[in-house]
Amino acid sequence: MRINIYYGGRGLIGDPTLYVLKKMTAVFEELNVKLGRYDLFEQKSGITMLPQTFKEADGIILASTVEWHGIGGHMMSFLDACWLYGDKEKISHTYMAPVIMSTTYGEKEAELDLMNAWQTLGGIVCPGLSGYIPEISEIEKNENYQKLIEKSAENIYRSISQQSFSLPVSVMQVRKITYRTKNTSLTQQETEQLSEYSSDDNYVARQKEDIKELAEIFKGKLSSAAAAPEKDFPECFRACFRPQSNTQLKYKINLKGKDVISIRVDNAKLEVGYGDLVYPDVELTMEPAVLNEICSGRKTFQGGFMEGSILSKGDFKSLRMLDSMFPFMP
């Protein structure tokens, strides 16, 4: 069993939530639970990618500290990313236990907020732990508090391992009727930037003219590429594979109107062929003619992404690795 812990506090010395997580971690390790730890304050720049870490987890713990009001900005940004970019099918089978410690007022409200958010996402909630701890010394010196923390960790383990069943909640019915997630291939930062630019009428007008000119240029290029005979794509990847150290990546290439190419790289081992692939690190969408150009050495994956002929979802660093692992020559 695997449990991922997402800590949304600021990582300050004396944070009671950190002490509680330390005690819980010791219990989970005794129970042979595989753990993943993600401190959101350290991963602010990549927070939109964190929902992908759910794929191997049976359950998660969302932990935060109430310092003045609510669950804090890091945890809220993480929940926004879950709503916008998370795999709702995976979330619907994932248990969540909230752990909220307060140094002021509002631990119960924050705990309820996390539970409602996870249920709105479609996930399953199990009992967690919340409390008011103004000074960490109070919890360190009290054996009853420590036993309660250990007992809570054991209860979380049982709820997830036994897949505890609960009655339906009304928020799920409301979600089915009113809530819709807009599908997008953009990250949160790209979406916000696009919204800012789209409100500028002059910018939009210039972009339309530029797109029209580029369309005429690339129309001729793509037409000539389409006339070229289509290559055996999997064989092209095998022939040009250059292993990279410490590399374990999965790529999914959607060819418009045709097949899906799946690529698995495990250091020096390569698996490539036609067929679907679940939970890829990077998912690409392009015309077959574009991939034909890449395999012929006339274009790179990064270049295709920059010019707009390739749509990409996932880590941009992993996208750049494609050109390093498969240096196609003309």
Q: Which helix (H) or strand (E) holds 44?
A: none
Q: Which of 121, 147, 131, 135 is nearest to 63 (CA)?
A: 131
Exposure string over 95-117, b if 16+ CB within 10 A, otherwise e: bbbbbbbbbeebbeebbebbbeb
Q: Does 102 reside within a domain?
A: yes
Q: Please give the tally of structural domains in the chain.
A: 2
Same domain? 173 vs 50: yes
Say which residue, 179 or 77, is predicted with more confidence: 77
The closest alpha carbon to 287, from 261, 257, 323, 260, belongs to 257
Residues 73 and 159 in one domain: yes
Q: Are residues 81 and 167 in the same domain?
A: yes
Is residue 14 included in any domain, yes or no? Answer: yes
248 and 171 in a common domain: no
SS (H, E, C) 122-165: CCEECCCEEEECCCHHHHHCCHHHHHHHHHHHHHHHHHHHCCCC
Q: What share of the chain in percent tops pLDDT 70?
A: 84
Whether the per-residue pLDDT at 220 is higher than 70: the answer is no
Q: What is the mean pLDDT of residues 298-309?
A: 88
Q: What proportion of the chain, given as a percentage, has pLDDT over 90?
A: 57
For residues 170 and 302, state if they share a domain. Answer: no
Question: 260 is in which domain, residue-wise?
Answer: 233-325
Q: What is the CATH number of the domain that holds 146?
A: 3.40.50.360
Whether residues 24 and 168 fall in one domain: yes
Considering the domain architecture, whether residues 151 and 22 belong to the same structural domain is answered as yes
105 within domain boundaries: yes
Specify if 187 maps to a domain.
no
